[in-house]
Amino acid sequence: MLPASVEVVAAGFRSQDLSQAGLTRGITGAKSCRVSEIFWLIDADYRSIRTAALAFGAHLAEQDTGRVRMRAWLLREPTVLPEIESGDGIVDGRQHMCTTRMSADPRTGVVNADCRVHGIANLYLGGSSVFATPGFAKPTFTIVQLALRLGDHLGDKLTR
C-alpha cells in the first residue's frame, strides 16, 4: 500500500545550446550568441512533466491504487513555476545544465569527452553545462568528479 502522500521528482529536457539560445528568442546579428537572460525550463519541459504526472495519476486510478492531486501551477497555461519556499510544492533543482553539451560529434555538442571545446586546442569547459542530459538530483557530486577528471587530463597533458 502506498503512503498517504508521495512527492514526485521530475527533470526537464536538456537546456538549449547557448550558441542557439539567442536565436530562439528572436535575437539576430552580432548579439545572436549572447545570452542576456537565464534559460530555465522551456514549454516542452512543462508539457513533459505535466504529461508524466497525468499518466502516473491515470495509472494509479486505473489500478485503484491511489489518486494524484497536481499543483495548480503545473496545470496553468502558460506554466509559471512558484516562487521558492512559497508553499506551493517543492520546486528545486534550478541548475543550469547541458548548455555546452559533451559529445564526440561537434555537430551535437560543444566539448569532447575531455571537456575540450571542439576545434580549439587549449580551451576546456567544466561544470554541469557539459552534461548531455539533466538529472533530477543535485549536480554537485558529478561536477566535482568531472573537475577532478579534467584536472587529471590536463596534468597528464602538461607532463608529456
**132, 128, 127, 125: which is closest to 109 by C-alpha?**
132
Chunk the chain into consecutive blocks of 10 residues (it has 160) and report each block's average pLDDT, rounded to whole numbers.
64 51 47 47 73 89 87 81 71 68 86 92 90 78 93 92
Cα dist from 4 to 36, 57, 69, 70, 141, whole Å: 44, 14, 12, 15, 32
Lookup result for grid cell 548579439: 31
pTM of the complete model:
0.56
Query: What's the pLDDT score for residue 81?
Result: 73
Report d(CA 123, CA 1) in Å as an integer. 53
Query: What's the pLDDT score for residue 62?
Result: 94
Which residues, at least 6 apart from 1, have a Cβ–Cβ distance to it below 8 Å? none
Coil, strand or helix at 50: helix
